[in-house]
Amino acid sequence: MTNATAVKVPTLPDAQTVTSVQHWTDRLFSFRVTRPASLRFRSGEFVMIGLMGDPDPATGRQKPLLRAYSIASPSWDDELEFYSIKVQDGPLTSKLQHIEPGDEIILRPKPVGTLVHDALLPGKRLWFFATGTGFAPFASLLRDPQTYEDYDQVIVTHTCRDVAELNYGRTLIENLHEDEIMQELLGAENLAKLTYYPTTTREESPKKGRITTLLENGTVFRDLGLDGISPETDRAMVCGSLGLNTDLKAILEGYGLKEGANSDPQHYVVEKAFVG
Q: Which of residues 70-129 bind ligand A2P (CB under 6 A)?
A: none
Q: Which is nearer to ligand A2P, 169 or 240 (CB)?
A: 240
Which of 46-54, 100-108, 109-117, 237-245 is the region at the interface with ligand A2P (rule: CB under 6 A)?
Answer: 237-245
201 contacts ligand A2P (rule: CB under 6 A): yes
Q: Which is nearer to ligand A2P, 50 or 134 (CB)?
A: 134
Element (H, E) at 190: helix 188-191
Q: Degrees (nearest 5) of the Cα angle 63, 67, 73?
A: 130
Q: Which is nearer to ligand A2P, 75 or 245 (CB)?
A: 245
Q: Which of residues 211-230 bind ligand A2P (CB under 6 A)?
A: 211-212
Instruction: Write the CA distances from 15 to 3, 10, 51, integer angstroms.
Output: 21, 6, 9
Among 13, 101, 218, 243, binds ligand A2P (CB under 6 A): 243
Q: How far is CA 106 from the centre of its chain?
A: 19
Q: Which is nearer to ligand A2P, 45 or 247 (CB)?
A: 247
Q: Which is nearer to ligand A2P, 44 or 240 (CB)?
A: 240
In our burial notation (b when 16+ CB lie closer than 10 A, e otherwise), range 8-32 reads eeeeeebbbebbebeebbebbbbbb
244 contacts ligand A2P (rule: CB under 6 A): yes
Among 86, 161, 249, 272, binds ligand A2P (CB under 6 A): 161
Q: Phi/psi at 267 (nearest 5 deg)?
A: -95, -25
3-state SS, one letter per residue, for 5-64: HHCCCCCCCCEEEEEEEEECCCCEEEEEEECCCCCCCCCCCEEEEEEECCCCCCCCCCCE
The nearest distance, CB 203 to ligand A2P, in angstroms, is 9
Which of 11-19, 34-42, 158-166, 171-179 is the region at the interface with ligand A2P (rule: CB under 6 A)?
Answer: 158-166
Q: Note whether 146 and 42 are within 8 A (CB).
A: no
Q: Could you give the 3-state DSSP secondary structure of residue 241?
A: coil
Contacts of 40 (CB under 8 A, 6+ apart): 75, 111
Among 45, 144, 247, 271, binds ligand A2P (CB under 6 A): 247
Which of 4-12, 68-76, 210-218, 252-260 is the region at the interface with ligand A2P (rule: CB under 6 A)?
Answer: 210-218
Q: Phi/psi at 13 (nearest 5 deg)?
A: -70, 145
Residues that bind ligand A2P in the complex, under the rule CB under 6 A: 131-132, 159-161, 201-202, 210-212, 240-241, 243-244, 247
